[in-house]
């Protein structure tokens, strides 16, 4: 992110946002728009990082509708496509770079960041992830974060056209469940979770982890992380959980993910339990997807659209995708999102698989554990001085879900526990 100040005209530019991570990208942009509004800045359309693990060459305008982004927020923040040429390296200008402190509040930006404008013409924020607090932010800024997320950031017409086509194909066959099966190679390598992998696969994942110096945690004990609930559910575990929750063989399941590590070998148990499994590659003609090949961010945008539109959404890991989709579905009327308690599920799965817990008892325990984890209205949990451990603003943007006296009544209630 870049901030420019000249004659009280300040500009902001997001810098090096990973383009593959569509949900994370959205949230960083939302936060930076809020910062621009707070400090009365002008926002420059973000540049996306093309050097990350995913090596996606997509630019902002390849993913989002730039004109809509600028026009829809015009009454809140001035947004421009680029800085004037005189503020480029080509003209000998060098910006001051610094990372804002994570989870910062209004006071930090007003007292620590705003004074920089008197000293530097341009300031680059070289980190923009989680730079704004979940709580303690003025209501008008919280609502602006929502407005950017739910209204300001539209995908390009090309992405939206294909995304809506996917949704239509699925809906024509009846209700469908979107399963965000976070079981791609990068997830397993960096989390160190290797349950169900062969020895060779575990070694491959470890080598990948060591190949990236920026990843601090190198030696990881997979089973310890799993017992702590810190691993994504495996495809095999996901099959058992879906069955325990009451989904049957006729359930139409859309797999919202990239390439599953281990491919069909790992998907086989899930497919055996749920033959109606589909993904974008099986629903669309290869020619239709050709324009998005080697652009993982644009492929992820299609999964994002389908996940939002699904009758039921279930993520196997609580990463950015899960949290952003959860919050978006709350905004759309608290649509059903079943949020797995992975630590509890690991305990139940192990008891069932070692013969201690019969199927009927296992299924009942799974349903009981999730009766209040289905996207119902509730107050966001606040943990002072521990922002990473409290509920994420974008997963439950309660300030944007109700108005006035109705809020307490709504947030105190749970909606139906039916699955579909």
Best CA proximity match to 171, nearest among 254, 259, 105, 233: 254
Q: Are residues 169 and 142 in the same domain?
A: no
CATH of residue 280's domain is 3.40.50
Kindly report, residue by residue over 389-407, the tens digit of the pLDDT.
Answer: 999 999 999 999 987 556 6
176 domain-assigned: yes
pLDDT of residue 93: 81
Q: Are residues 85 and 164 in the same domain?
A: no
The DSSP string of 194-254 is -TT--HHHHHHHHHHHHT-TT-------HHHHHHTT-SPPPHHHHHHHHHHTT--TT-EEE
Q: Using only C-alpha atoms, what is the Rg of the chain?
A: 22
pLDDT of residue 95: 79
215 domain-assigned: no
Query: For the ranges 35-44, 176-185, 338-347, which has the lowest average pLDDT?
Result: 35-44
pLDDT of residue 150: 97
Query: What sign results for the dihedral spanned by CA atoms 122, 127, 129, 135?
Result: negative
pLDDT of residue 195: 95
Q: Are residues 13 and 96 in the same domain?
A: yes
pLDDT of residue 198: 94
216 domain-assigned: no
Averaged pLDDT, 132-153: 97
Q: Is the pLDDT of residue 416 over 50?
A: no
Averaged pLDDT, 154-182: 97
Indicate whether this model's pTM tops 0.95: no
Q: Are residues 107 and 163 in the same domain?
A: no
What's the mean pLDDT when you consider all of the chain?
Answer: 88
Kindly report, residue by residue over 270-284, the tens digit of the pLDDT.
Answer: 999 999 999 999 999
pLDDT of residue 23: 77
pLDDT of residue 404: 58
Burial class (CB in 10 A: 0-12, 13-18, 19+), 118: exposed
Q: Are residues 245 and 292 in the same domain?
A: yes
Q: Are residues 174 and 139 in the same domain?
A: no
Q: Is the pLDDT of residue 15 over 90?
A: no
- Farthest CA pair distance, the chain: 73
Q: Is the pLDDT of residue 418 over 70?
A: no
Question: Domain of 142?
Answer: 2-154
Q: Is the pLDDT of residue 6 over 50?
A: no
Kindly report, residue by residue over 344-385, the tens digit of the pLDDT.
Answer: 999 999 999 999 999 999 999 999 999 999 999 999 999 998
Place 172 in a pLDDT band, splitting at 50, 70 and 90.
Answer: very high
Kindly report, residue by residue over 103-112, the tens digit of the pLDDT.
Answer: 999 999 999 9
pLDDT of residue 414: 46
Q: Are residues 140 and 282 in the same domain?
A: no
Q: Are residues 147 and 162 in the same domain?
A: no
The number of domains in the chain is: 2
Q: Are residues 292 and 381 in the same domain?
A: yes
Q: Are residues 261 and 382 in the same domain?
A: yes
Q: Are residues 99 and 239 in the same domain?
A: no
């Amino acid at each position: 992110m870049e901030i420019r100040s000249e004659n009280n005209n300040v500009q902001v530019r997001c810098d090096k946002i990973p383009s593959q991570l569509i949900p994370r990208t959205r949230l960083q942009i939302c936060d930076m728009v809020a910062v621009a509004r707070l400090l009365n800045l002008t926002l420059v359309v973000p540049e996306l990082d093309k050097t990350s693990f995913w090596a996606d060459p997509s630019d902002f305008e390849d993913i989002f509708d730039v004109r809509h982004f600028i026009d829809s927020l015009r009454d809140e923040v001035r947004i421009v496509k680029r800085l004037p040429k005189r503020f480029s390296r080509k003209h000998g200008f060098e910006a001051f770079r610094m990372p804002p402190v994570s989870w910062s509040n209004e006071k930090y930006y007003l007292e620590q960041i705003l004074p920089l404008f008197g000293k530097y013409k341009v300031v680059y924020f070289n980190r923009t992830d989680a730079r704004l607090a979940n709580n303690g932010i003025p209501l008008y800024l919280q609502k602006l974060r929502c407005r950017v997320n739910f209204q300001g950031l539209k995908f390009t017409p090309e992405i939206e056209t294909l995304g809506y086509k996917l949704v239509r194909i699925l809906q024509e066959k009846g209700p469908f469940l979107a399963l965000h099966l976070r079981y791609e190679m990068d997830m397993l390598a960096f989390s160190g979770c290797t349950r169900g992998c062969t020895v060779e696969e575990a070694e491959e994942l470890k080598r990948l982890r060591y190949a990236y110096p920026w990843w601090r945690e190198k030696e990881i004990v997979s089973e310890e992380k799993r017992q702590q609930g810190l691993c994504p559910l495996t495809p095999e575990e996901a099959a058992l959980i879906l069955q325990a929750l009451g989904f049957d063989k006729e359930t139409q399941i859309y797999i919202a993910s990239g390439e599953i590590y281990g491919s069909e070998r790992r998907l086989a148990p899930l497919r055996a339990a749920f033959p109606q499994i589909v993904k974008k590659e099986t629903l669309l003609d290869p020619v239709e997807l050709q324009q998005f090949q080697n652009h993982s961010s644009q492929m992820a945008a299609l999964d994002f659209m389908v996940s939002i539109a699904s009758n039921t959404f279930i993520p196997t890991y609580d990463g950015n995708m899960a949290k952003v989709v959860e919050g978006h579905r709350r905004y759309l009327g608290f649509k059903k999102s079943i949020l797995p308690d992975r630590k509890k599920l690991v305990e139940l799965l192990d008891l069932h698989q070692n013969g201690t817990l019969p199927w009927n008892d296992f299924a009942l325990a799974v349903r009981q554990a999730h009766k209040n984890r289905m996207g119902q209205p509730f107050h966001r949990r606040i943990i002072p001085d521990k922002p990473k451990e409290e509920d994420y603003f974008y997963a439950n943007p309660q300030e944007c879900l109700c108005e006035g006296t109705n809020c307490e009544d709504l947030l105190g209630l749970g909606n139906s526990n039916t699955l579909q």
